[in-house]
């Protein structure tokens, strides 16, 4: 589970790309160019760490709306994201039917999800069941927020995975809030990982701002799952550094001091420090990365601006599988 | 050809589909060793093993959610809901997930699955073992809703449902499980999902029914024949998508329409048939469209006289036919 220098740098790159893309979305929203954005800022380390613990493209993922960085690790592109933000033709996850950040990428085994929270968790259990039935060497990663672990849906899914020793990793991205409601109003336990003991699976909480710690923890859970030892519940502790969405005003429920305090533990700062201390990263390299990111994001914005809107003639389809046009 | 009961036909269909395709599996409460509380799956656990006839935890949401996940992976789950009355915990998974998956992913993901549920009253089951739930699901694009009324259709429609690439809600008139008998060929055949069927030719009025009420409607039509009234009976069989053509052809011939269902009247499925006729066959009508349905109380009461008051039966249907014929 040792990471090569190149891989460590690649992980930082994924976080950086996701961050700058996410920031651009906020800017476009302020400029009135897009209608909605829901952000993953603050959770990049959790997502990239988990993604790199998978065999990407082979293992399965049931993501949730904050997982921009996770999806980028699976091959989702800035152009894809900009098409989603603008609701333009060719948007690859849903044909611009879904709101932005409602992911799907079949070629990467990343399953389409909806807006009602936690519904993806029983799908993950079902995918795990199918993997087990077919005796295949794959695992499923299901992600969700800590508030969503209050849903009955989630308990049912975890219970299933535990009973049948399914190869599922449930990763709770605990960003401390569910819109405005803090975690201590969601659960009486200190960590959502503590909920595992009541259902008979391993639960482990990890610093979700350190991409390499998350990687090691999830990689271990993945190894266990592949070895037939069943599911693990991982909590990645992070902080939502932005409002819930572009429709939210977080000043109505939390102080600026609190947010500023957490900015010191920004996963990009943490990751950069680790790489600098290891002698893998310096200012020149960062400048080079930033320039490359900016180019990609600029390109994506331009690409989406020039793209046409979807044709309303296509909006009736495909409601049923028979109506799907392939290729 | 052997004459068998409705439930035997349903079991035969599952048995043959399990044998035909190793991706097919059954999941539900008590479906394994016990063979189902109605014995629909008797013998299948011994024949196919606990991995393909799975006793689920007592949790309907995840019976469906896990089924969806497995279907996304390429399996063909048959999910049994023990009584249709207990399908509501799974409503979110059926309506938000299974039904919308194809459309919301622009065809990237489809959910080939069957959800079987025994429905209907007249069995002394009271409010929570008697409900008809078809109207909830026949409102949802992306689902197919099927209700067999006889053993031949039950077997053929269930096989078609298992092979269908979409989520199919398959509602079983449980009062007819052992009451309704009919000839069923032993080998493989399917009855297509979609077409309704004229099950009795007539010229004076058209009666539209499905499931148990179709069985009663045929009995009532026999009675009316003795009184010189020629009733045409249409077995709707597939409620969604609805076979408009067969519905309209019949009423254009007879000029009068009666719709019978045991679900309560208001917002019930009959309203849709009435609307189709009003919109597209208005000038062919010789009388107002009539509906004979359960009364608008929350569900079927337990005590026998109360249950009898609720349920349409051959006498009540015959009376409604007489009145409409005399209009
Ligand atoms: C079933 C359901 N109820 C309410 C909402 C509205 N909603 C969207 S996100 C959210 C908070 C989710 O919090 P959490 O699970 O902690 O995830 P986070 O957004 O913090 O990542 C709520 C209440 C929803 N999407 N689904
Ligand atoms: Mg949260």
Predicted local distance difference test score (pLDDT) of residue A326? 64
Q: Looking at the domain assignment, is residue A133 inside a domain?
A: yes
Q: What is the pLDDT of residue A83?
A: 98
What's the pLDDT score for residue B139? 98
Quick check: B316 pLDDT over 60?
A: yes
Choosing from A240, A251, A309, A326, which is the catalytic residue?
A240
Let me know if residue A321 belongs to a domain. no
Query: Is pLDDT at A327 greater than 60 in this prediction?
Result: no
Contact A156 B57 (CB under 8 A): yes
Ligand 1 proximity of A177 Cβ (cutoff 6 Å) = yes
Within-domain flag for A315: no
Q: How sure is the predictor about B30, in pLDDT bands with cuts at 50, 70 and 90?
A: very high
* pTM to 2 decimal places: 0.97
Which CATH number belongs to the domain containing residue A184 in this structure? 3.40.50.970
Q: Do B66 and A122 touch (CB under 8 A)?
A: yes
**Which residues on chain A are in Cβ contact (under 8 Å) with B103?**
97, 317-319
CATH numbers and ranges of domains, chain B:
2-184 (3.40.50.970), 197-326 (3.40.50.920)
Range of the structural domain that residue A197 is part of: 5-310
What are the phi and psi torsion angles at B245 (to 5°)?
-60, -45
Phi, psi (degrees; rounded to nearest 5) at B145: -125, 125
- CA A86-A92-A98 angle, to 5 degrees, is 60
Is residue A170 domain-resident? yes
Q: Who's near A265: CB < 8 A, 6+ residues apart?
A: A209, A239
- In this prediction, residues A106-115 reach a mean pLDDT of 98
Position B186 scores a pLDDT of 86
Residue B199: predicted pLDDT: 98
Ligand 1 near A204 CB (within 6 A): no
Beta-strand runs (E) in A186-258 = 202-207, 232-237
pLDDT tens string A233-255: 999 999 999 999 999 999 999 99
The reply to whether A322 falls in a domain is no
pLDDT tens digit string along B60-96?
999 999 999 999 999 999 999 999 999 999 999 999 9
Residue B1's pLDDT band (boundaries 50, 70, 90)? confident
User: Given A153, A321, A324, which is nearest B65 (Cβ)?
Assistant: A153
pLDDT of residue A325: 80
Residue A292 among the catalytic residues: no
HSE at residue A262, side-chain half, CA atoms within 13 A, is 19
Q: In what order do the strands lie in the sheet with A232-237?
A: A60-62, A140-145, A168-174, A232-237, A202-207
Mean pLDDT over B194-202 rounds to: 98
- Residue B304 among the catalytic residues: no
- Convert the pLDDT of each residue in A116-169 to its tens digit: 999 999 999 999 999 999 999 999 999 999 999 999 999 999 999 999 999 999
Nearest C-alpha in A relative to B68 = A123
Task: Report the domain count for chain A.
Answer: 1
Ligand 1 contacts CB of residue A119 (under 6 A): no
d(CA A205, CA A237): 7
The pLDDT assigned to B174 comes to 98
Residue A43 lies in a domain: yes
Closest CA to B133 of B268, B243, B297: B268
Residue B264, strand partner residues: B294
- Examine residue A325 and state whether it is found in any structural domain, yes or no: no
Structure tokens given for A191: 């960590």
> What mean pLDDT is predicted for residues B85-113?
98
Cα–Cα dist B98/B112, whole Å = 9
Residues of chain A positioned with their CB less than 8 A from the CB of B75: 130, 133
Nearest CA owner, ligand 1 atom 5: A116
Query: B232 vs A198, B228, B229, B263, B320, CA distance in Å?
Result: 59, 13, 10, 22, 14
What b/e sequence results for A2-28 when a residue is b if at least 16 CB atoms lie within 10 Å of its CB, and e otherwise? ebeeeebbebbebbbbbbbbbebbbeb
**Does any domain span residue A190?**
yes
Question: What pLDDT score was predicted for residue B275?
Answer: 98
Question: What's the token pair of residue A106?
Answer: 């079949």
Q: Which atom of ligand 1 is nearest to the CA of A175?
A: 20
Question: Does residue A154's CB lie within 6 angstroms of at least one atom of ligand 1?
Answer: no
State the Cα–Cα distance between residues A266 and A16, nearest whole angstrom: 12
Task: Report the complex ipTM.
Answer: 0.96
Residue pLDDT, tens place only, B271-300: 999 999 999 999 999 999 999 999 999 999
């Amino acid at each position: 589970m040792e990471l090569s220098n190149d891989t460590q740098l690649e992980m930082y790159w994924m976080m950086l790309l996701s961050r700058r893309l996410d920031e651009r979305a906020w800017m476009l929203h302020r400029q009135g160019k897009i209608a909605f954005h829901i952000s993953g800022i603050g959770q990049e380390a959790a997502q990239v760490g988990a993604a790199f613990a998978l065999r990407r493209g082979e293992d399965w993922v049931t993501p949730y709306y904050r997982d921009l960085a996770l999806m980028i690790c699976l091959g989702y592109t800035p152009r894809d994201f900009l098409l989603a933000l603008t609701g333009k033709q060719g948007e690859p996850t849903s044909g611009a039917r879904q709101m932005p950040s409602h992911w799907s990428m079949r070629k990467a085994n990343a399953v389409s999800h909806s807006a009602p929270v936690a519904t993806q968790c029983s799908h993950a259990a079902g995918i795990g069941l199918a993997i087990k039935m077919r005796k295949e060497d794959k695992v499923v990663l299901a992600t969700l927020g800590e508030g969503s672990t209050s849903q009955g849906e989630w308990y049912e899914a975890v219970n299933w995975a535990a009973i049948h020793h399914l190869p599922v990793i449930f990763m709770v991205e605990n960003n401390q809030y569910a819109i405005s409601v803090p975690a201590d109003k969601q659960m009486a336990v200190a960590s959502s990982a503590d909920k595992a003991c009541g259902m008979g699976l391993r639960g482990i909480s990890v610093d979700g701002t350190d991409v390499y710690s998350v990687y090691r923890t999830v990689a271990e859970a993945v190894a266990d799952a592949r070895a037939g030892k069943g599911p693990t519940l991982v909590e990645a502790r992070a902080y939502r550094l932005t409002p819930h969405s572009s429709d939210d005003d977080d000043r109505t429920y939390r102080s600026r001091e609190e947010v500023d305090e957490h900015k010191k533990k920004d996963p990009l700062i943490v990751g950069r420090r680790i790489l600098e201390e290891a002698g893998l990263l310096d200012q020149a390299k960062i400048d080079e990365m930033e320039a490359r990111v900016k180019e990609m994001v600029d390109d994506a914005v331009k690409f989406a601006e020039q793209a046409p809107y979807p044709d309303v003639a296509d909006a009736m389809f495909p409601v049923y599988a028979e109506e799907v046009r392939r290729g | 050809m052997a004459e068998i009961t409705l439930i035997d036909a349903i079991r035969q269909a599952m048995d043959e589909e399990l044998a035909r395709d190793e991706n097919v599996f059954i999941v539900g409460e008590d479906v394994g060793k016990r063979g189902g509380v109605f014995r629909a799956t008797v013998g299948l656990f011994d024949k196919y093993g606990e991995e393909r006839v799975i006793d689920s935890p007592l949790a309907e949401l995840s019976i469906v959610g896990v089924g969806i996940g497995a279907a996304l992976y390429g399996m063909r789950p048959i999910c049994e809901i023990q009584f249709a009355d207990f399908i509501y915990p799974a409503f979110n998974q059926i309506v938000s997930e299974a039904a919308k998956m194809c459309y919301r992913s622009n065809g990237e993901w489809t959910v080939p699955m069957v959800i079987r549920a025994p429905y209907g009253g007249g069995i002394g089951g009271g409010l929570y073992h008697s409900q008809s739930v078809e109207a909830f699901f026949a409102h949802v694009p992306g689902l197919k809703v099927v209700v067999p009324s006889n053993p031949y259709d039950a077997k053929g429609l269930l096989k078609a449902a298992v092979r269908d690439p979409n989520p199919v809600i398959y509602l079983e008139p449980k009062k007819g499980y052992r009451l309704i008998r009919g000839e069923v060929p032993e080998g493989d055949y399917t009855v297509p999902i979609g077409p309704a069927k004229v099950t009795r030719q007539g010229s004076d009025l058209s009666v539209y029914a499905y499931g148990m009420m179709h069985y009663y409607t045929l009995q009532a039509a026999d009675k009316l024949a003795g009184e010189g009234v020629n009733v045409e009976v249409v077995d709707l069989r597939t409620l969604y998508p609805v076979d408009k053509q067969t519905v309209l052809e019949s009423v254009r011939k007879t000029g009068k329409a009666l719709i019978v269902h045991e679900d309560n009247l208001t917002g019930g499925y009959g309203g849709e048939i009435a609307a189709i006729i009003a919109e597209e066959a208005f000038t062919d009508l010789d009388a107002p469209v009539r509906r004979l349905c359960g009364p608008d109380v929350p569900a079927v009461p337990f005590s026998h006289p109360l249950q009898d008051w609720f349920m349409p039966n051959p006498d009540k249907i015959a009376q409604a036919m007489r009145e409409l014929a005399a209009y």
